[in-house]
C-alpha cells in the first residue's frame, strides 16, 4: 500500500501508522492524481461505490470494490463499460467464494465426487458471535445501510446487502451456472417483532421480512433455494450460521459457512 484516504484524517493517519502506509489523503480526487497508485480498493458505503469506481477508472486505475458493488444494474454496467474500454481490471470483494469450506466443496464438485450438481439449498440460522469482535467492524454510524436510497435495498435493505453472498455462492458451487430468475416470499404479516442483527449492524427498524428466496438457472435442470430462520426475522433454527447443501446426480455435499458451528449427526460431531 502506498496511500490511504479517508474523510476522517485522524482515522486515516491511525490506519497509515498501523500499516506503514507512507501517504495520507482526505481528498479522493487528490489521491488519484498524486499518489502514483496502480490499483484502488474502495471500502466506502454502497451509494459511493459506483461514482468512486468511475472516477478511478477515468484515472486509469485498476479496481477492487466492496460488495454490494452497486445499487442497481445501471450503475454497475456504467462502471463495467468504463473499465473495459480502458483495459482495466475490476474485482468485487465477494468473500464467500474464498471461504475454506466453499473452496473445498468446489474442488470436490470439480473432481466429480457428487456428479453433476443440480440443486443448491442455503440456510441462514442464528450466528455464533463473540462478545467482542476480533476484527474492525466499521464506524459506529452506519445508518446509511438502512436508508432505501443509499443502500439500494428499498424496503428490504438487509436482504439486498447480504444476499449478494447467497447468489455468488450459488453460482460458484454450480460451475458455469448462471442465475436466470429470482423469486422471493415476503412475510408481510409476521407476528414476531423484528429484532436487530449482528451487534455492529444498524438493522433496528421494522423492515419487512423475506424468509424465503428461490431461483432458477439458465440451465432449467438446476434450481436453488435460500431460507432464513434467526433472530433478525423473529424465528429460530437450531442450525447455526450459513450452511449450504449441494445436491448432485450421485451424491450431496453439506457445507458450513460463515457464522456457523459444528455439524452433528445422531448426536455425534
Task: Collapse the DSSP code of 125 into the 3-class scheme (helix H, G, I; strand E, B; otherwise coil) and give the result.
Answer: strand
3-state helix, strand, coil in the chain (%, to 5): 30, 25, 45
3-94 belongs to which homologous superfamily? NAD(P)-binding Rossmann-like Domain (3.40.50.720)
Rounded Cα–Cα distance for residues 56 and 29 (Å) = 9
Per-residue pLDDT averaged across 185-193, rounded? 65
Angle at 137 between CA 132 and CA 140, to 5 degrees: 95
Question: According to CATH, where is 3.40.50.720 located in the chain?
Answer: 3-94
pLDDT grade for 262, boundaries at 50, 70 and 90: low
Per-residue pLDDT averaged across 81-105, rounded? 93
Rounded Cα–Cα distance for residues 125 and 230 (Å) = 5
pLDDT tens-digit readout, 35-78: 999 999 999 999 999 999 999 999 999 999 999 999 999 999 99
Phi and psi angles of residue 188, each rounded to the nearest 5 degrees, phi first:
-70, -20
Question: According to CATH, where is 3.30.360.10 located in the chain?
Answer: 96-256
Torsion of CA 95, 98, 102, 104, to 10 degrees: -170
- Cα dihedral sign for 191, 153, 224, 255? negative
96-256 belongs to which homologous superfamily? Dihydrodipicolinate Reductase; domain 2 (3.30.360.10)
DSSP string, 75-104: HHHHHHHHHHHTT--EEEE-GGGGSHHHHH
- Mean of the per-residue pLDDT values of the chain: 86
Q: Which residue has 492524481 as its cell numbers?
A: 33
Amino acid at each position: 500500500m502506498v496511500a490511504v484516504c479517508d474523510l476522517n484524517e485522524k482515522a486515516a493517519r491511525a490506519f497509515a501508522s498501523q500499516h506503514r502506509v507512507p501517504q495520507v489523503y482526505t481528498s479522493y480526487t487528490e489521491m488519484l492524481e498524486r499518489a502514483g497508485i496502480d490499483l484502488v480498493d474502495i471500502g466506502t458505503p454502497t451509494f459511493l461505490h459506483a461514482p468512486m469506481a468511475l472516477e478511478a477508472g477515468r484515472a486509469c486505475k485498476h479496481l477492487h470494490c466492496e460488495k454490494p458493488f452497486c445499487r442497481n444494474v445501471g450503475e454497475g454496467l456504467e462502471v463495467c463499460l468504463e473499465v473495459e474500454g480502458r483495459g482495466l481490471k475490476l474485482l468485487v470483494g465477494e468473500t464467500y467464494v474464498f471461504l475454506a469450506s466453499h473452496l473445498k466443496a468446489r474442488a470436490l464438485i470439480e473432481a466429480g465426487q457428487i456428479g453433476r450438481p443440480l440443486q443448491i439449498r442455503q440456510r441462514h440460522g442464528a450466528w455464533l458471535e463473540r462478545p467482542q469482535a476480533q476484527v474492525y467492524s466499521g464506524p459506529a454510524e452506519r445508518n446509511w445501510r438502512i436508508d432505501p436510497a443509499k443502500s439500494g435495498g428499498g424496503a428490504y435493505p438487509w436482504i439486498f446487502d447480504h444476499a449478494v453472498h447467497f447468489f455468488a455462492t450459488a453460482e460458484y458451487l454450480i460451475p458455469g451456472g448462471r442465475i436466470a430468475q429470482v423469486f422471493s416470499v415476503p412475510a408481510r404479516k409476521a407476528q414476531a417483532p423484528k429484532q436487530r442483527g449482528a451487534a455492529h449492524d444498524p438493522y433496528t427498524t421494522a423492515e419487512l421480512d423475506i424468509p424465503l428466496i428461490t431461483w432458477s438457472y439458465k440451465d432449467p435442470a438446476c434450481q436453488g433455494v435460500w431460507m432464513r430462520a434467526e433472530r433478525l426475522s423473529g424465528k429460530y433454527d437450531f442450525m447455526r450460521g450459513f450452511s449450504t447443501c449441494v445436491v448432485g446426480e450421485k451424491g450431496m455435499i453439506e457445507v458450513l459457512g460463515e457464522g456457523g458451528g459444528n455439524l452433528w449427526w445422531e448426536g455425534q460431531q
